[in-house]
Amino acid sequence: CSAAEKMSSPFRLIVHGRSGHASMPGIADNALVKAATLIVRLAELRPEPRLEPEVAAFLHLLTGREVGADEALDVARGVHPLAAELVEPLLTLTVSPTIVSASQKRNVIPALCDLICDCRLLPSETQQEAETLLRETLGRGDYDFEWLEGQGGTRSPLETPLWEAIESFVAVEEPEAKVAPVCLAGFTDSHWLREAFGTVAYGFFPMRTMDPEVAARLIHSADERIAVEDLELGVRFLRHVAQQIGG
């Protein structure tokens, strides 16, 4: 059950070079080639891990002990590969270069290359802190760095009537299961409600029919879907929570 989420914080790099005819590469300074070097540096970025409270609570529930940031990923791998996939992006900021725009002509060496990267920050991180790390990673160069937005990165407390209602639903449906708190690597609209009204918001949808690993692979895919049986289970969950809280 996600009680927090990372901040969606994409950024743009505009890499500068010098244009020229593609048949004479020596007279130009190819901005796309320079951008490729920066992309490799971002791909090799390995920040120091830090443990958000929700992730620490998740690992404690799985292992029965306190887990440090440096061992968190190995501990998760020892529990289950799916646990490792869940925990890995929650230990540091993540950067994924996703869009590159350069020359629009095959025979023109680009003077500019526009690179957009998806970046997700931990709830405890700021853009200023992240930019310092990113600039150190990229090194000096002929490029401009620009944040495109900064949304999310909020959390809700765990000691609430809503959390208790979720726990009581799980106790009825799966008596041997426990509700595990976690931070969401993605991004939802929960932050709007938290920021505007102080609303307690969690990300929870029970599933029995569809394998969780399959469901994770289907996110944003052409075949993204949900099993009808799980939809029915989700409706029962929503009814249960409304009755528990609303009386």
- Summarised one tens digit per residue, pLDDT across range 86-119 is 999 999 999 999 999 999 999 999 999 999 999 9
The one-letter amino acid at 165 = A
Fold of 161-246: DNA polymerase; domain 1 (1.10.150)
Residue 101: strand pairing partners: 114
Query: What does the block give as tokens for 48?
Result: 């120091």
Q: Averaged over 48-76, what is the pLDDT?
A: 96
User: How much is the pLDDT for 118?
Assistant: 98
Looking at the chain, the whole-number percentage of residues with pLDDT higher than 90 is 88
Q: What is the 3-state secondary structure (H, E, C) of 147-170?
A: ECCCEECCECCCCCHHHHHHHHHH
Chain-centre distance of CA 133, in angstroms?
Answer: 18
What is the spatial distance between Cα 28 and Cα 35, in angstroms, rounded to a whole number? 15
pLDDT at 134 over 80: yes
Specify the domain boundaries for CATH 3.30.70.360 within the chain. 2-152
What is the spatial distance between Cα 204 and Cα 224, in angstroms, rounded to a whole number? 18
What is the spatial distance between Cα 125 and Cα 119, in angstroms, rounded to a whole number? 12
Given a contact cutoff of 8 angstroms between Cβ atoms, the answer to whether 166 and 1 are in contact is yes
What is the spatial distance between Cα 139 and Cα 133, in angstroms, rounded to a whole number? 10
Q: Averaged over 197-203, what is the pLDDT?
A: 95
CB-hemisphere CA count at 13 Å for 18? 6
Q: Averaged over 53-60, what is the pLDDT?
A: 96
What is the spatial distance between Cα 138 and Cα 41, in angstroms, rounded to a whole number? 6
User: How much is the pLDDT for 64?
Assistant: 94
Maximum Cα–Cα distance across the chain: 76
User: How much is the pLDDT for 215?
Assistant: 82
pLDDT at 140 over 90: yes
Given a contact cutoff of 8 angstroms between Cβ atoms, the answer to whether 172 and 206 are in contact is no
Q: Averaged over 136-153, what is the pLDDT?
A: 96
Query: What is the residue-averaged pLDDT of the chain?
Result: 95
pLDDT at 247 over 80: no
What is the spatial distance between Cα 166 and Cα 157, in angstroms, rounded to a whole number? 14
CATH 3.30.930.10 assigned to domain 2-152? The reply is no
User: How much is the pLDDT for 213?
Assistant: 78
User: How much is the pLDDT for 166?
Assistant: 97
What is the spatial distance between Cα 202 and Cα 196, in angstroms, rounded to a whole number? 16
User: How much is the pLDDT for 221?
Assistant: 87
What is the spatial distance between Cα 191 and Cα 220, in angstroms, rounded to a whole number? 20
User: How much is the pLDDT for 210?
Assistant: 85
Give pLDDT tens digits for 166-184: 999 999 999 999 999 999 9
3-state secondary structure of 122: coil
Give pLDDT tens digits for 208-232: 888 877 887 888 888 889 889 999 9
From the list 40, 30, 224, the residue with the least C-alpha distance to 117 is 40
pLDDT at 203 over 80: yes
Specify the domain boundaries for CATH 1.10.150.900 within the chain. 161-246
